[in-house]
Every structure is written in C-alpha cells, then in structure tokens.
Structure 1
Amino acid sequence: MLRRNVETDKKRTKREVSKKTGLSVSGLRTDKGVKTIGNHCSPFLMISVSIAQVAVYMYYGFSHGEWMTYHYDLYESPLVFDTGYRKQAWRFASYILIHLGLGHLILNVPAQLILGIPLEKVHGHIRLGTIYMAGVVAASLASSFFTPCDLLVGASGGVYAIFAAHLANAILNGSDVTKKISGLVQCVLVLMCFDFGCSICNGLCSFSLGVVKLSSAAHVAGALAGLCVGLMVLKNFRKSVADKAVFWVAVLAYACLMIFAIFWNVFWARDDSC
C-alpha cells in the first residue's frame, strides 16, 4: 500500500511539472523528490536552417564557379541585405542564407549547430527559432543604422543570439543547466567570446580584409537580442521573484530598441545616403 502511494505521488509530481514547464511527462523523471528535466525535442530547426545555408552556398558556387571565396556577383543577390533595398522586407532575414566563401560558412554553420542543438532539445523549436530570428532581424536593423553603406551577409546575427541565449539560460536556470553543458559547447562558447571581442575591435579600428568587413554592430545587436529574448521565452525551471523582474527588464529593453530601429528604418532612413 505504501509503495503504491509513493508511485502515485511520483506520477502526480510529473504531471504538475509537465503542466508548469510544458514538457511531456515522458521527458521528466523524479529522483527522491528532486525534479529533473530530460531532453525531449529533436533538433529539427537548427539542422534544417544549416542544410538550407549549405544548399544556397552550393547553388551560388555552381552558378559562379567560385567555391573558396566570394564572387562579386553575389552582391547582386536578392537575398543580401542592402539598405538601398530596405523596402524589400525579406532581406532583413534572408541574408543569413548567403556566405562569403567556404571559411565564412565553416565558421557559422558548425557554431550554430553546436550551440543551438542543446538549447533546442531542451527548450523546443519555437523558442529557439524565436531567439534565432530575433538576433537575425536585430543584426540587420543595427547594420542599417550604424553601417548603412555596407552590405550584410552571413548567419552571425543568429549565431550570436544563440550564444547569448546560453547566458540567458544560465541566468534563469543556474547550475541545473550549466552542469549539463558539454566540453565541446564550452569550447565553442570561449571561441565565440574571442570572436565577439575581435568584432568589436574591428569596428573600433575600422579594420577590413579587402572589401569584406566584420559587422561589429550586427554581432552586438544579435547578442543583445538573444539575451533579451532568451530571458523572455526560454523555459524557467526555477522560478522566483527576481526572475519576474529580469523578465520585464528584458521586455522593456528589447521593445525600446526594436521600436526605435523599426521606426528609424521606416520613417527616417534614406536609401540614397551612400
């Protein structure tokens, strides 16, 4: 009778945790009254996005006969973000499909897979997709404001959003998630920190390689968007009063920045300024 009651309590606990977190009951297990969360989602989103980026790269590689570096005709692609065509709204997001050379592709695709898959498996496709696209759009909006004469390509905005989402995840869930981060993910996070610093130095020093410049504004904007949106949409398994304050600060900061950037692009930006 006692054993039966214990099993009933465990089932009830699983149902309660499932209702609060949105996880399926099968993705939960209870050990001595401690609720733990198991991986439950397949990384469909990150894999699909990466396949699309590789496919577009191969298409332009075959079209231009250039695989290792970029071809100048690539700048005429309708997918590239160009402030002169800001009325073509899809460009604010489609630029992530274009990469300037094999090195650019190799930097972004593995990074977003290594960083994105762990988050997607725990938090789901919709939450990670929201964070990724928030970073992508924020990067293009920031680029249009700070560097309106430069074209923007590559998935760095989304990658930095996922990078910052790991910080948001650690803020919300603390040691529950940091203990589960693999060594490979930790290495990539360190490399992203290094690259982030390089992008800022590049922006301050106006360093360039040929006509290709690192967009530090896009990187910073993508990271800020990933942090703010991550604090808003990621699952919080250890809710507290402080977390509510963090949530509303993130909402206010993200809303103010996005409203300003969107209004500037719609009402004040000039397409012929370059």
Structure 2
Amino acid sequence: MFSYPLLTAAEQACLPPLIAEPESIQARFEDSSHQLFACQTTQGEMVLKVCNQKTIDESAFWSGANHLFAADFPASLGEIHLTHVFLEKNGTLKTPAFVSAGVHRFVLTRFLEGKDIDHVTEQWVVQLAAHIAKLHQSSYSNWGTLHKPVFTAEAWASRLHDTLVFLANKQGMSMTEPTLIKALAQIDQIHETQFVPMMLDLRWDQFRGSEDNTLALIDLDAFVIAPRTLDLLLLEYVFTPAQLVIFKQHYTQSHRWPAHTKETACYQLLLFLMNILGETNLAKWMQQL
C-alpha cells in the first residue's frame, strides 16, 4: 500500500489510489513554496504539490501578495480549481487538469508532458503574447484576488504605499533609502483605472514546452487582478530586449502599450521587494528599465 507523502490519512482518503511510491521532484529554487512529487496512480500520472508553510511564512513574494492583494495564500488553494476553470475560459495556454486540493496544504493535478524551459524560443514568446493579450481582454474596475476583486481603484495607491513600507521594514531596508523615498513620494500621482488578470510570479520556470513547441502553464497559485501597467512592467523584466520586441509586436495588435510614467519606480521597487526574479542588487534592478 502506497501513501501520498506529507498528507494525512484524511487528506488522501479521496485521492486516486497510488500504484507506486511517489518520487520527489527537485525544486528549481531553494525558496520554493511547495514540495513536488511525481505520483503514479490508477488514474494516470499526476503531480502533487505540498505547501512548505515555513518557506511561505518567510517568503517576501507571498508576504507582498498577501499584504497588497489580500491573496490569503495558502488558504486560497481551496479555490484553485476556479483558477483552472478561469484560465481554460480566458487564456490560450494549456494547463494541467485539476484533480484535488486541500486548503493551506496541497494541490494534485494531472502530469503534463513536456520539458522544462531552458532556451526560450520565438514561438513561445508569441504564444505567451497571445495568452496575455487574451487575459487582458478581461478588464475590471476593482482589483484584488482573482475570483473576488473587492478593492476599488481609489484604494490602490494607499495599499501600495502601505505594502512598500511593510516589505521594506520586513527586509530591513532603511526608510532613508533614496529609491524608497522617491517611490513613496510618487505614489500620490498614481491613478490606476484598468485592472486585469495577472500572474504575479511569471517566470519561464513556471511553464513547460512540448515536443511540438506548444507552451503550457503549470503553476497557477499566484493569479490576481492587478493594474495592467504592473503586469507589463514585470514582463519587461522577464523578457530579453529581443523577446520584448516580439512580444510587443503581437500584444499591440489588440492592446495599447502604456508609456513609462510616474508609477514605474513604485512598481519596480514593489517587484524587487517581492523578490520576483531573485535580484538582490537594488541599483542594478532599478537601472534595468
């Protein structure tokens, strides 16, 4: 008799029976919020993601997501099946089929064939552009969690201010840091009105590529409703200059590309303090855009 690792008997009582001992999958980052396991079941191959609560508690990313967007992770795993449904309807990329989830604890999905992305192809950039462009067709007047965005546009600036101060204090940044002072001073000039679905932790390691060069999205934990400008700013960090040109060519067929304005420094600092891409040099980060 085989058991799902790290789950209680009650948690795995309704899960598909295992036919082999689950195998641990090495996380690509030391601060990964989940432990991953490949599971062979009577219903096919699956992937189990179990929350690492200690890592989540210490995570700058989840601290920022929970503080600013009220993401309520990992309790929000209780609604992650709705995220699967949302992306099937409103996105263009394939996602793993949802099997089960436990509040605060785990997600079980079907395994998606493919390979980890080490070299980004032009086709994948184009596919991601189509996916983001379609997601941005869903526009909201409120923002917050993906399924219940309750915050008004007027609340964005004040919550952003409080989150920057919260994260700076949490990480021991001096309140006299010039970049922080500049960002906080600019917040009153931010007046966001367009909010869209955003994957806060969008990185290439969250995707898989198939043999036919089809891009698939495998990590769905961190979707929120956020300012469109914040989403596009994150993408400017993720892409190389050449990839960004390709992305813009396709994205702007249906959407306008916003100019960098006063909110740029605020959003750059937010992404840095949330440790979005692992950069630790603030000056280098701010000079990238």
TM-score (norm 1): 0.29
Which structure: greater strand fraction? Answer: 2
Which has more radius of gyration?
A: 1
TM-score (norm 2): 0.28
